[in-house]
Amino acid sequence: MKKNIQMPKLSEQMETAVLAAWNKETGDMVKKGDVLFEIETEKVVSEVESMESGVLEEIFFEAGDEIKADEIIAVINCD
Amino acid sequence: MKVVDNTNEDVYFNLALEEYLFKNFTESAYLLLWRNSNSIVLGKHQNVFEEINIRAIEESGIPVVRRNTGGGTVFHDAQNLNYSFITNQKEGYADYERFLIPVIKALNEMGIPAVKRRTSDIAIGGQKISGSAQTVKKGRILHHGTLLYNSDLSLLKNLLKTTAGKITSKSVKSVRSDVTNIKKHMTDQSMTMAAFKDILLEKLLPDGFEKVSLTEEDIQAIKTLMVEKYSQWEWNYGQSPKFSFEKDSAVLNAKGIKIQIDVKLEIIKGKIAKGEVIIDGLENTELIESLTGTRYGYQEILHKLEESQFNESAQIKIDNLINCFL
């Protein structure tokens, strides 16, 4: 089954955030709890852990992109 | 609040210590006051090559180190006092006031007219004395900041980026600020850094605190992190987001003839991944091939250019040639 990964909304006020770095690449095995990507906004770095285990199948944004909260940024294939 | 005792002024050790405390000291709230000797500290997601003058840095020997929090590049010396709070953060995001207000209150009690400025700065009369940044993970937060007590910022001037080339990337950029030293604004001009640190600690934690000393085991683990991460080129330089570099230069050769050298480079993980060198309109594949895979740095590029002997065949001074690439 494929699961969409969304840009998390880290606070009520947050409308967008910068996806500062990917810690995994397309094709990588991802385990639940692994750091998938990092967000940086207002000089705060947040490591975002994967909620799923599977293969990181697709990535729709690259490091440095400013992305709206809840936008789909990647797909993990959990099969 | 527990206070961790640390008098080490090695920037590599101190950043490793901070990460170690953040990841392992998870059962309480901690405050750390610390100083670094001359060094440049980058934000986690910055492109080092966009921030510093790489040749001047290599020649100065001043360490350049990437930290674990966001934001821009800061110069540190032993007259700058850093503070770090490591504690729980259940809710809220980018909540700087929680930490800045107690620091400002402590400074005010010492007679320093400090006020909050923008989201994460402290200023006196519109000039910055303190910047701060954070990292959050699993309900814990590391908030740290600088306090310019009596820093010599003149050193910094030659070390910041000054290329005439064009660098394009999506990295986090630094915002330059007009700064001032705290000491200049104090009535007691004789107060030393050591006294400033002690009084600040008293004012921040008026109800007293528990002092925590690191065990031998802690220190060994911190030293391992320092050696394997913070003192490594791969972390400090190689973690830079990918970028492109473009520079068109006109160089005079020994006969006084102008040679046009146009350089385009793609730098990934700090190394030259591909590019082109065009000399008087003609592509020179030999030069770019010799540079591919090289770390983007003054000494490394210099070495490759000397090996190519292009400077000799074209009768160009090596200094003029390398300037086309930096």
Q: A45 and B170 in contact by Cβ < 8 A?
A: no
Q: Which of B180, B207, B236 is the last residue of a domain?
A: B236
pLDDT for res A12: 84
Q: A46 and B169 in contact by Cβ < 8 A?
A: no
Contacts of B204 (CB under 8 A, 6+ apart): B31, B102, B103, B106
Would you call B194 helix, strand, or coil by DSSP? helix
Same domain for B170 and B39: yes
For every residue of A27-67, DSSP letters joined together read T-EE-TTSEEEEEEETTEEEEEE-SS-EEEEEE---TTEEE
d(C-alpha A50, C-alpha A34), whole Å? 6
Same domain for B67 and B39: yes
| ipTM score | 0.92
Q: Is the pLDDT of residue B162 over 80?
A: no
Work out the widest C-alpha separation in chain A, in whole angstroms.
Answer: 37
Q: B70 and A62 in contact by Cβ < 8 A?
A: no
CATH code of domain A2-77:
2.40.50.100
Same domain for B268 and B188: no
Tell me the pLDDT band of B113, cut-offs 50, 70 and 90: very high
Same domain for B299 and B207: no
Number of A/B CB contacts below 8 angstroms equals: 68
Q: A43 and B119 in contact by Cβ < 8 A?
A: yes
Same domain for B102 and B209: yes
Tokens of B64: 């350049």
Q: Which of B196, B219, B236 is the last residue of a domain?
A: B236
Question: Number of structural domains, chain B?
Answer: 2
pLDDT for res B158: 83
Taking CA atoms, A4 is separated from A21, A57, A64, A69, B164, in Å, by 18, 10, 20, 14, 43
Q: Is the pLDDT of residue B93 over 90?
A: no
Tokens of B263: 């350089």
Tell me the per-residue pLDDT of B297-326, one tens digit each, with 9 for 90 and over. 999 999 999 999 999 999 999 999 999 999
d(C-alpha B168, C-alpha B164), whole Å? 13
Same domain for B189 and B41: yes
Would you call B258 helix, strand, or coil by DSSP? strand
Contacts of B268 (CB under 8 A, 6+ apart): B242
pLDDT for res A73: 97
Mean pLDDT in residue range B258-268:
98
Tell me the pLDDT band of B211, cut-offs 50, 70 and 90: very high
Among the partner-chain residues B94, B137, B170, the one whose CB lies closest to the CB of A42 is B94
Q: B169 and A64 in contact by Cβ < 8 A?
A: yes
Q: Which of B189, B214, B236 is the last residue of a domain?
A: B236
Q: Where are the alpha helices (DSSP H) in B54-154?
A: 54-60, 97-109
Among the partner-chain residues A18, A44, A63, the one whose CB lies closest to the CB of B136 is A44
Same domain for B73 and B219: yes
Same domain for B284 and B142: no
> What residue spans define the domains of chain A?
2-77
pLDDT for res A32: 95
Same domain for B318 and B171: no
Mean pLDDT in residue range B164-171:
94
| Sign of the alpha-carbon dihedral angle for B225, B38, B167, B133 | positive
pLDDT for res B155: 81
Q: Is the pLDDT of residue B249 over 80?
A: yes
CATH of the domain at B281: 3.30.390.50
Facing residues of B169 across strands? B243
Tell me the per-residue pLDDT of A21-72, one tens digit each, with 9 for 90 and over. 999 999 999 999 999 999 999 999 999 999 999 999 999 999 999 999 999 9
pLDDT for res B42: 97
Question: How far from chain centre, in Å, is Cα B268?
Answer: 19
10 Å CB burial of residue B84 (0-12, 13-18, 19+) is buried
Residue whose token pair is 């190394």 = B271
Q: Is the pLDDT of residue B117 over 90?
A: yes
Mean pLDDT in residue range B193-199:
97
Domain that holds residue B294: 243-323
Tell me the pLDDT band of B204, cut-offs 50, 70 and 90: very high
Tell me the pLDDT band of B92, cut-offs 50, 70 and 90: confident
Tell me the per-residue pLDDT of B35-77, one tens digit each, with 9 for 90 and over. 999 999 999 999 999 999 999 999 999 999 999 999 999 999 9
Contacts of B228 (CB under 8 A, 6+ apart): none
Same domain for B182 and B119: yes
Tell me the pLDDT band of A3, cut-offs 50, 70 and 90: very high
Same domain for B136 and B34: yes
Q: Is the pLDDT of residue B15 over 90?
A: yes
pLDDT for res B138: 85
pLDDT for res B37: 97
Mean pLDDT in residue range B263-268:
98
Tokens of B265: 């480079």
Nearest to B200 by CA among B104, B132, B121, B66: B104
Q: Is the pLDDT of residue B280 over 80?
A: yes
Same domain for B251 and B209: no
Average pLDDT value over all residues in chain B: 95
Neighbours of B164 (CB within 10 A): 9
Q: Is the pLDDT of residue B88 over 90?
A: yes
CA-based angle B264:B270:B273, to the nearest 5?
Answer: 45
- With beta carbons under 8 A apart, name residues in chain B contacting A69: none
Taking CA atoms, B166 is separated from B10, B118, B201, in Å, by 33, 30, 45
Among the partner-chain residues A44, A62, A64, the one whose CB lies closest to the CB of B93 is A44
